[in-house]
Structure 1
Amino acid sequence: MSELRIVPVGDDQTLLDWQLVHNEIIPTAALSVEEIRERVKRNVLEVAYDGDVLVGCSTVRPPSQETPAAVVIARVLPAYRRRGFGTAIYEHCLRRGRELGDRIETHILASNQDGVRFAKAHGFVEVETYLLPGDTIPFIELRLGE
């Protein structure tokens, strides 16, 4: 890892970069540009670059009526895993999440075994598995420190 830069989604290029990472890691819930434009109004969406190379993205959702915890999601493209990027992105998200609430959760597509292992290694425990309408691969909801 040379120089990790984490920048907010704020223009078309960062939006498309965020979309690329999200849709590669979560192909069952791919998002359109319009859906991402809506999400960026409610959530903190950021992209991570190693120098100028796109390596990942993140989402921090504030607590809400449906989810009374801040949700932190760090995604790293498979070619860049196990190099420290996930930890750096996660720690960045966790700081933001803690500013928004006391409870922290994450949601990971069950087929993303690297992501599930990463979350459990960082103190998350599984609390629920759920299937979105029309999907065949469930998501796992994990909570930090329980």
Structure 2
Amino acid sequence: MTKRQGEASAPALRTETAEDEDALRDWRHVHNVIVPPAAMSLDEVRERSRRYRLESAYLEDVLVGCSTVRPPEGEDRVATVIVRVLPAFRGRGIGTALYEKGLAHARGLGAGAVETVVLAANAEGLRFAEARGFVERERYVLDGESAEWIDLRLVPEGR
């Protein structure tokens, strides 16, 4: 498909690994907007970035989302892929692009299974995960908290 004269091209999605302070702050902002019950300090984000792959997503220079990939662990080599897109930018394929990139990274690390976790109050996030083949495994509330979380696992195609 070619661009017609006068037609504006859509800005390309750009991701950056959250390593420097600005990227860590951006990742934190998106995380805290999407999951306020689990809001994190910058120090907590720094610590998390040493264990997990954190990425921030931008359309040109506008922050639109973030992702987390927790490396595979346990006998089943379970990795966790979490995608967050700011509400104003949903429905544009950003979540799908971040999810596919995170899934490819998890598989590149040798994941035997992939899970995600969604705040139960995030109906859009739950629909997004289910539309990609994730099925609910468990609902829980962390000690001392009131927010309900849902763990989901990706069911391989053909099952």
Aligned residue for 2:106? 97
Aligned residue for 1:127? 137
* Structure 1 residue corresponding to 2:63, chosen from 48, 51, 54: 54
Partner Cα separation in structure 1 for residue 46 and residue 76 of structure 2? 21
Aligned residue for 1:113? 123
1:5 aligned onto 2:14:
yes
Runs of 4 or more, structure 1, over 4 Å off, are 65-68
3-state SS of 1:142 partner: strand
3-state SS of 2:72 partner: coil
Partner Cα separation in structure 1 for residue 76 and residue 137 of structure 2? 13
Higher RCO (C-alpha 8 Å, min separation 6): 1
Aligned length: 146
Unaligned runs of 5+ in 1: none
* Residues 108-132 of structure 1: CA deviation (Å, up to 9, x unaligned): 0000100000000000000011111
**Contact in 1 for aligned 2:76/2:113 (Cα 8 Å):** no
**TM-score (norm. length: structure 1):** 0.95
- Identical pairs, percent: 53
3-state SS of 1:83 partner: coil
